[in-house]
Amino acid sequence: MRKILLTAALLCAAALPAISASAPAGSNKSFTGATANLAPGDPAGQWTRQARDYANTRYSPLTQINQKNVARLRVAWTFSDGQMYGHEGAPLVVGDTMYLVTPYPNIAYALDLSKTGAPIKWVFQPNPDPRAIGEACCDKVLRGWAYADGKLIYNLLDDHTVAVDAQTGKEVWRVLLDDVSKGPTLTQAAFVVGDKVYIGSSGGELGTNGWLQALDVKDGHTIWKAFTNGPDSGALIGPDFKPFYPWMKGKDLGVSTWPGEMWKQGASAPWGWVSYDPDLNEIYYGTSNPGPRTPSQRPGLNLWSSAVFARDAGSGAAKWAYQFTPHDEWDYDGVNENVLIEIPWKGARRKAMVHFNRNGFAYTIDRTNGEVLVAEPFGTQNWAKKIDLATGMPVVNDAAHPIVEKKVENICPPDIGVKNWNPSAFSPRTGLLYAGVFNSCMDLTNHIVQYIPGSPYDGMEMVRHAGPGGNWGEFIAWDPVAGKRIWSVKENLYVWSGAVVTGSDLVFYGTMDGWFRAVNARTGKVLWSQKLGSGITAAPMTFVGPDKRQYVAVYTGVGGGAGVLRRVGGYMPGGNTLYVFSVDGAGIGSGAGQLVSHSDVAAPVSVPPAAAHN
Amino acid sequence: MRRLVLALLMLATPASAQVAADTPNPFEGKADAVEAGHALFGKMNCVGCHAYDLTGGMGPDLTDNSWQYGGKPGEIFHTIAEGTPRGMPSWKDKMTPDEIWQVVSYIHSKHQ
């Protein structure tokens, strides 16, 4: 009997996540002492920007849904937007209105949360140029939208940014920022601080010349524009630019670290997230892989690809940069979110940022100067032995270098990374970050490619396979000070959803095989799961409705880069349904009897979904 | 002057632009055309959208017998030459008609 008990206990231990002893479950103690500035301090029930705060924590202080009642979450209402490309953004809630924007053709909806069933308040159809469909590398997605100054502001796939009156749904302004026929698209989530909206270009695989620009929220005109590569003048690199490591110091490195004029097709597109520190008045964002993806064609560091920039939010002047993967040979990029936190460090507090890079290392960086404090693997990787903290350089494994026309086996991770753009969350209560991660490797054969404007400038032929253990993904809690995992939950497929963590120590995330889960933020114990109609590659959020009730919402609609697993078992059909949950599914007018129906506005006739892609 | 304009117009109009759907592939059944098309499929970056194994990614799968713009040789030729409104570029200025037919041969070789 004792043997059976022991076996049972071992089985349980195997099934349960590993727990650090440093902060027992049930306590309110932080695991790390890390905190965050939650500016601008929006009302607790609102969600007015993709990551909720400037620091990109995705932390909600709400506590109505808690450890005890979370298992009673049920669907309160749903909304289908009719579009079949991958869904990647989180809904915004401002006052009594929810704002949604679809992937291409980028239709915006305002839903009235004060009425039964959240009917459509207005719909806006921007009708972007369909040529953009053929230029977007990784599905025809949009990662989010912004609310500011009474306007909903977002990017169209065809290189326009548009602002829509949040009350009426009428277009206020629309500006054209690039030429889609040459390869660039816009898929980034517009990010607003004060009177500026920051827009970054997409097109890492299209030989583009990446840029980030600040537009005026009032009329959309460009206030400043910073190219990633090229001469210092175009990159807004001047006397204020002080990178921490010597190898990133010098004049016009965005030219001299490339052969000839290859920087002009060097991509390095900032298609990921922007964060903002109101005390330093600086923005932080990452840049994509260099083009072409075949590294032997572009000897050199290829600055400023696969890097992070700190810039003055007002002038755009670069303050520092750090290149995560010099001369990126594996398409590891640097676009993932930078979560701004304050950490205890050798007896003092440091203003830091945490960045889970595709290359498999989680970096904790001093955001005042670009010094790497911690760089530890957060998942399966073998391309580097370590990141040398003295130089900031990776120590690359010789066996991981790609070779033209020869298959190099088992490089981990593949191009898609140990984590992609799917945003992590940080809790100031636990001091931990929460992230969906990937466990996979690739067999890589490189090819020499030529630049043909408007076509892929790529060269990587690869077969991806699951990493050790056979599971493609997991969801982890990460200690950003010690640089180690606290717990993890294994999942069958890549966990490509964003995360949200609440004041009740609940973390929500979704899986590509359609499970939406609530997890104890301290232990990793799964408290609730609901199977939804499609896979989840969007970020969940939580809000309080006009009825003072807390809801949790998430878009389904698997797609985007996650489509690389479309032939792996468990991958679900596409979808486009927003699910909104509450305790017992309660909502305005719920209960017995026929509900009052509101049907003032008709949805547009859906664009016929593409049979395949284009 | 008019003659000059006409001559320029003719120069700017590639011979490849108009091919009827039922036009047979002049390279039908020729293995060397399949090989040449394979090389062009890589060289012209077709692989970037349709993948090295032609199963698609950024662009559609070319192996699944589902043809949005028609699967006859002449229809595939036309799609490659003219491009599509949904972002497939036009290749008639970058490849000769023979080269486009060779790519058609390569694509069709994946359907036998």
DSSP, collapsed to helix, strand or coil, labels residue A608 as coil
Chain A residues 204-243 with CB within 8 Å of chain B: 205
State whether B66 and A611 contact (CB < 8 Å).
yes
State whether A455 and B60 contact (CB < 8 Å).
no
pLDDT of residue A598: 75
The residues of A carrying an active-site annotation are 205, 289, 331
State whether A450 and B57 contact (CB < 8 Å).
no
pLDDT of residue B36: 98
Tell me the shortest Cα–Cα distance from A455 to chain B, in angstroms: 6
From the list B48, B59, B94, the residue facing A613 with the nearest CB is: B59
* Per-residue H/E/C for A129-142: CHHHHHCCCCCCCC
What CATH number has the domain bearing residue B98? 1.10.760.10
Tell me the shortest Cα–Cα distance from A147 to chain B, in angstroms: 30
| Residue B12 pLDDT class (50, 70, 90 cuts) | very low
CA–CA gap between residue A208 and residue A267 (Å, rounded): 5
Cα distances from A514 to residues A555, A566, B109, in angstroms, run 11, 13, 37
pTM: 0.93
pLDDT of residue B103: 98
What DSSP designation does A113 have? Answer: T
Query: Per the structure block, which two tokens stand in for B104?
Result: 């058609």
From the list B43, B64, B86, the residue facing A450 with the nearest CB is: B43
Cα distances from A582 to residues A76, A247, A596, in angstroms, run 6, 52, 20
* pLDDT tens, position by position, A460-491: 999 999 999 999 999 999 999 999 999 999 99
Tell me the shortest Cα–Cα distance from B86 to chain A, in angstroms: 5
Paired strand residues for A5: none
State whether B45 and A450 contact (CB < 8 Å).
yes
From the list B42, B61, B89, the residue facing A612 with the nearest CB is: B61
Paired strand residues for A100: A109
pLDDT of residue A18: 42
* Per-residue H/E/C for chain B: CHHHHHHHHHHHCCHHHCCCCCCCCCCCCCHHHHHHHHHHHHHCCHHHHHCCCCCCCCCCCCCCCCCCCCCCHHHHHHHHHHCCCCCCCCCCCCCCHHHHHHHHHHHHHCCC
pLDDT of residue A591: 81
pLDDT of residue A23: 56
Range of the domain at B48: 2-109
CA–CA gap between residue A282 and residue A277 (Å, rounded): 5
| Cβ-Cβ contacts under 8 Å, A132 against chain B | 87
- Hey, what domains does chain A have and what are their CATH numbers? 51-583 (2.140.10.10)
State whether B45 and A456 contact (CB < 8 Å).
yes
Q: Please, what is the average pLDDT of chain B? A: 87
From the list A138, A455, A614, the residue facing B45 with the nearest CB is: A455
CA–CA gap between residue A260 and residue B94 (Å, rounded): 24
Token match 């404090």: residue? Answer: A373
Strands A307-312 and A282-286: antiparallel
CA–CA gap between residue B50 and residue A171 (Å, rounded): 36
State whether A610 and B61 contact (CB < 8 Å).
no
| Cβ-Cβ contacts under 8 Å, B94 against chain A | 452
pLDDT of residue A28: 86
Specify the number of domains making up chain B: 1
> Does pLDDT of B28 surpass 50?
yes
CA nearest A563 in B: which residue?
Answer: B57
pLDDT of residue A558: 97
> A134 — contact with chain B (CB < 8 Å)?
yes
| Cβ-Cβ contacts under 8 Å, A131 against chain B | 85-87
Torsion of CA A173, A177, A181, A184, to 10 degrees: -120
pLDDT of residue A599: 73
CA–CA gap between residue A244 and residue B33 (Å, rounded): 55
pLDDT along chain A (614 residues), means of 10: 40 40 68 98 97 98 98 97 97 98 98 94 96 93 98 98 98 98 97 98 97 98 98 98 98 98 98 98 98 98 98 98 98 98 98 98 98 98 98 98 98 98 98 98 98 96 97 98 98 98 98 98 98 98 98 98 95 97 93 75 66 40
> A158 — contact with chain B (CB < 8 Å)?
no
From the list B47, B60, B87, the residue facing A132 with the nearest CB is: B87
Of A455, A448, A292, A135, residue with least CA distance to B39: A448
| Cβ-Cβ contacts under 8 Å, B60 against chain A | 611-614
